[in-house]
Amino acid sequence: QVQLVESGAEVKKPGASVMLSCKASGYAFTSHYLHWVRQAPGQGLEWMGMLNPFGGSTTYAQKFQGRVTMTRDTSTSTVYMELSSLTSEDTAVYYCARGFSGEMAFDIWGQGTMVTVSS
């Protein structure tokens, strides 16, 4: 079946970087955008950026520009999201999500990865 499987929980110190992965299966990897969305404790969903697996182009939310990098490996149908210069405010659950309906909505979501930033 169509699914996105994310990497496991991470604990990082302030100032460090974290790289998360999202492995797609059950569909043509290059046919749908992949997005990253996060939810900090007690907060709402926040769109971080997207990657087009076909050519690798990316768009990032202004808030994260300069600090986030999204890449993909088409041989393994995996998308990566690296976030640098972590602070406690980056403590959150991070989701990857597949684009749907002309890529304008998100129909399949990963299980979420908890990232904790703490000294």
Partner 1 sequence: QSALTQPRSVSGSPGQSVTISCTGTSSDFGGYNYVSWYQHHPGKAPKLMIYDVSKWPSGVPDRFSGSKSGNTASLAISGLQAEDEADYYCCSYAGSYTWVFGGGTKLTVL
Among 1, 75, 87, 101, binds partner 1 (CB under 8 A): 101
- The answer to whether the beta carbons of residues 93 and 7 sit under 8 Å apart is no
Number of shown-chain residues binding partner 1 (CB under 8 A): 22
Shortest Å, Cβ 118 to partner 1: 21
Q: Which member of 18, 20, 37, 117 binds partner 1 (CB under 8 A)?
A: 37
Among 85, 88, 100, 118, binds partner 1 (CB under 8 A): 100
| HEC profile of 55-82 | CCCEEECHHHCCCEEEEEECCCCEEEEE
